[in-house]
Structures are given as structure tokens and as C-alpha cells.
């Protein structure tokens, strides 16, 4: 099978974003439910801004921007490009309209496809822009979920596909421990294909003997932690985590609600009872760490996770499957871990920092990842809202330790 051209890849990624937005009403595009989330309209405009700013303007001196004000309005955090609106106020921008933003996308798409068909532009930056839009595809879904959860009607974004049926309780086998590769290992991206700059350079890391759980922690197992007073026992929590628990009154994962003696959860397909067999999701790093301590284990380092995951195929429940929620997992063949990719991002115990010999790219694009290497924790593995082609063993996602609105979950590790 031939590799799609860059123009074909561009059309496919932009079409996926349009597909994600199909079920939305106009009102759904414009509301910002919390400072960490952004309105869908802003995501549509910002991903378009990226191609306009970093591809079209440098490549075509005769390129005419759709609206000169958009350089400021839809800049996210690129200070080298210029100032930008205060992030928590993105939802206050009632203008430009959704229709204006769609016309903006059409304007930039036409110029981009003309450029790509002519073989012009910087291919590496175009590919970066496509991966950037895939990141925002996942953010659109997670931000929408938070937005819809704030509505007492608990509206449905989209019904899950017919294949996304919930297996019967007890379908998940008991967890086992699997030995991980110890000694001197190499991690980080090297070779052909795309990777973000924070995945490199490839380098050597010494890993002592360890084991990982062969599957993700389930809702049923997390409920045992809750029933044992997990949210009321300060000895299980780091000091910052305990402060957050008390400040926000956490007693369960985000989106869980107690109803008639049971737990229900908000999904992108509406409210339903928590299924014990599913991987627990929407937990912060603080909660993942406390659960691991309660379970007599710990979270894996990102080097341990990558060493275990690299030999395994990138397979799992992704955006394209239309599940919109983590699914119960079975047992992988042989003595291999399951659920490494898709379903939920897996918290590690590793702080997000630069690899040895890392140097950010010059100019504004150097701000893409490097400026966030502080007060963030690394997650690995992708989620049910991640495009399949966006997942790989070296991918380093990162969020603050109190973040819960992403599809983040838990895989345990322990010393061997």
C-alpha cells in the first residue's frame, strides 16, 4: 500500500476534526467550562492559525490572511509570535462567530492544498501541524465532555458504536505481575517517521529489576480503595495531593456520581452505571499515586513503561473506534502486558523534563514542548480519544498532577 501524499494526509486530518464536530449545536462550540478547557470554536481556529502562521506566511509572501486580528486572537502560547488573549477568557470571545471560523478554515485549507499540490512549504512543519491538530482532536473531546458534564441534563455527545458494548461483569481476568526488562536500556525516538522533539534524543537509562501489572487498574479495584477510606486516609497521599483532596472535596474520580446506593459516571454517550470491569479513568496523578501506595505498589517510571511497551504492537481502543470511553481488557497472548495503548493515558512517576542532550528548536516552534518542562508529570500510552496514528511507545504526554479531565488511568509497578 502506498503512503498517502502530504495533501491526502492533510485532508484526512482536517476531515476527522470536522467529523468530531458533526453532532454539535452552535451553542456547544462557544462555551468554556473551566480555565484548562477551551471552546471547540477556539480549537478549530487555533489549529488553523498554526498552519497559517508556521506554514503559509513563511512560504508565500503573497499570502493574504483571512483576518489580521486572528494572529492575536488564536495564538495559544507562542510568545515569539506575539501576545495572546488570557487563556481562561477564551470563552468570552463571542466574536468571531462559528461561521467566521469555518470560513477561516476553508480559506486556509485552500491555500494549504495549493501549496502542498505544488510541492512547496516545509514538509516537517506541515507534519508537525497535522500532529498538533490530532492533539487538539483529543482535547476537543475531553473539553466537550467536561462541558456537557456541567449541564444538569447530562446531554449525549454521540452514541457509542455498536461494537462498543459493555462486557458482563467479571470478564476481566485477575491482574498478574510481569517482569520488565532490567539493566541498561535505550529509550527515546530514533529512526523514520514523526515524533515530537521532546521524545529525543534516544539515550541509555539503567533500570533496576521491576514488574508491571499486566493490565490497567479497573473501576472495581478502585472502588475497593474508596471503600477502604482511600480519600480519607492522609497517610496514603503526598502532602500536595492531600491538600487538593481537602480543598476540592474529592471522594471519587471525576464524573462519578452516587445514585441510589451505586456509582454512576458521565460519558460522552451519556450517564450510566460504573462498570467494574472497565479501566478507571479521570483520576489525577495524586489519586493514581495514592491508589498505588494503598495497593502496596507504585507507578512505573516512564523508562520502565517504554521498555515494556516497545516490543508490543500499537493496538487498542482509539478515537476511530467510536467508543469514547475505556473498554474492559482481556489477557494478552503469552506473558505480555495488555492495554498498553488506547483506553486511558497511564500516569508514570516521572517528572516531565528534558532528555540528555535535548535542545529545543530555534524560534517560536521551540516553545511547543520545552517551555512546559516544569511542574508536569509524564503519561504514556494514548487513550480512547487519541487518533490511532498518533500513538507510539516513545510518546510523552504531560499534565499537572491535579489534572483529571483527560482520560488518565493507572497501571501499577513494583520492585522485583
Residues 94 and 195 in one domain: no
pLDDT, tens only, 56-74: 999 988 899 999 999 999 9
Percentage of the chain lying above the pLDDT 70 cut: 97
- Residue 166 forms part of a structural domain: no
- Residue 172 forms part of a structural domain: no
Residues 333 and 197 in one domain: yes
In which element (H, E) is residue 262 found? Answer: strand 262-267
Residues 205 and 331 in one domain: yes
Residues 11 and 126 in one domain: yes
- Is the model's pLDDT at 210 over the cut of 90? yes
- The mean of the pLDDT values for the chain is 94
**What pLDDT does 120 receive?**
79
Could you list the residue range(s) of the whole structural domain that residue 115 is in? 6-149
Residues 386 and 258 in one domain: yes
- Residue 393 forms part of a structural domain: yes
pTM of the model: 0.96
- Residue 171 forms part of a structural domain: no
- Residue 168 forms part of a structural domain: no
In which element (H, E) is residue 265 found? Answer: strand 262-267
* Model confidence band, residue 320 (pLDDT cutoffs 50, 70, 90): very high
**What pLDDT does 164 receive?**
46
Other C-beta atoms lying within 10 Å of the C-beta of residue 315: 14
pLDDT, tens only, 265-301: 999 999 999 999 999 999 999 999 999 999 999 999 9
Q: Are 200 and 362 in contact (CB under 8 A)?
A: no
pLDDT, tens only, 348-404: 999 999 999 999 988 999 999 999 999 999 999 999 999 999 999 999 999 999 999
Residues 142 and 192 in one domain: no
- Residues 6 or more apart whose Cβ sits within 8 Å of residue 192: none
Residues 98 and 219 in one domain: no
* Cα atoms found within 13 Å of the Cα of residue 162, Cβ hemisphere only: 0
Residues 251 and 370 in one domain: yes
- Residue 16 forms part of a structural domain: yes
Residues 199 and 115 in one domain: no
Residues 189 and 144 in one domain: no
- Residues 6 or more apart whose Cβ sits within 8 Å of residue 141: 20, 157, 268, 319, 324, 385
* Model confidence band, residue 168 (pLDDT cutoffs 50, 70, 90): very low
User: In the predicted model, what is the mean pLDDT of residues 183-212?
Assistant: 96
Residues 183 and 145 in one domain: no
- Residue 103 forms part of a structural domain: yes
Could you write out the DSSP letters of every residue in 41-73? HHHHHHHHHHHIIIIIHHH-TT---S-TTHHHH
* Cα atoms found within 13 Å of the Cα of residue 196, Cβ hemisphere only: 25
CATH of the domain at 288: 3.90.1580.10
Q: What domain count does the chain have?
A: 2
Residues 115 and 35 in one domain: yes
- Residue 127 forms part of a structural domain: yes
Amino acid at each position: 500500500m502506498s503512503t498517502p501524499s502530504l495533501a491526502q494526509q492533510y485532508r484526512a486530518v482536517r476531515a476527522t476534526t470536522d467529523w468530531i464536530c458533526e453532532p454539535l449545536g452552535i451553542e456547544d462550540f462557544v462555551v468554556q467550562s473551566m480555565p484548562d478547557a477551551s471552546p471547540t470554536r477556539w480549537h478549530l481556529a487555533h489549529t488553523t492559525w498554526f498552519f497559517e502562521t508556521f506554514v503559509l506566511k513563511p512560504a508565500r509572501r503573497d499570502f493574504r490572511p483571512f483576518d489580521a486580528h486572528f494572529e492575536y486572537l488564536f495564538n495559544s502560547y507562542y510568545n515569539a509570535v506575539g501576545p495572546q488573549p488570557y487563556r481562561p477568557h477564551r470563552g468570552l470571545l463571542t466574536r468571531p462567530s462559528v461561521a467566521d471560523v469555518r470560513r477561516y478554515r476553508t480559506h486556509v485549507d485552500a491555500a494549504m492544498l495549493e501549496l502542498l499540490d505544488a510541492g512547496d512549504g516545509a514538509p516537517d512543519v506541515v507534519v508537525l501541524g497535522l500532529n498538533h491538530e490530532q492533539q487538539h482532536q483529543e482535547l476537543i473531546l475531553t473539553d466537550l465532555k467536561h462541558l456537557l458534564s456541567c449541564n444538569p441534563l447530562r446531554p449525549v455527545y454521540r452514541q457509542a458504536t455498536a461494537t462498543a458494548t459493555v462486557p458482563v461483569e467479571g470478564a476481566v481476568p485477575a491482574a498478574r505481575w510481569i517482569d520488565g526488562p532490567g539493566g541498561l536500556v535505550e529509550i527515546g525516538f530514533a529512526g523514520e517517521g514523526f515524533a515530537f522533539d521532546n521524545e529525543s534524543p534516544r539515550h541509555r537509562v539503567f533500570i533496576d529489576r521491576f514488574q508491571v501489572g499486566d493490565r490497567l487498574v479497573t473501576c472495581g479495584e478502585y472502588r475497593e480503595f474508596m471503600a477502604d477510606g482511600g480519600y480519607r486516609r492522609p497517610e496514603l497521599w503526598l502532602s500536595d495531593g492531600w491538600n487538593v483532596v481537602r480543598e476540592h472535596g474529592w471522594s471519587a474520580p471525576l464524573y462519578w456520581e452516587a445514585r441510589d446506593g451505586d456509582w454512576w459516571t458521565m460519558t460522552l454517550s451519556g450517564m450510566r452505571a460504573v462498570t467494574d470491569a472497565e479501566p478507571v479513568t479521570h483520576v489525577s496523578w495524586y489519586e493514581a499515586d495514592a491508589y498505588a501506595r494503598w495497593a502496596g505498589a507504585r507507578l512505573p517510571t516512564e523508562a520502565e513503561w517504554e521498555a515494556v511497551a516497545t516490543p508490543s504492537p500499537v493496538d487498542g481502543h482509539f478515537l476511530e473506534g467510536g467508543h469514547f470511553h475505556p473498554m474492559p481488557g482481556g489477557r494478552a497472548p503469552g506473558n505480555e502486558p495488555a492495554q498498553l495503548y488506547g483506553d486511558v493515558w497511564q500516569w508514570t512517576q516521572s517528572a516531565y523534563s528534558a532528555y540528555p542532550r535535548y535542545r529545543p528548536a530555534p524560534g517560536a516552534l521551540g516553545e511547543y514542548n520545552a517551555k512546559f518542562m516544569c511542574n508536569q508529570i509524564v503519561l504514556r500510552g494514548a487513550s480512547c480519544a487519541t487518533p490511532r496514528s498518533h500513538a507510539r511507545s516513545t510518546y510523552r504526554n504531560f499534565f499537572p498532577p491535579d489534572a483529571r479531565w483527560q482520560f488518565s488511568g493507572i497501571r501499577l509497578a513494583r520492585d522485583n
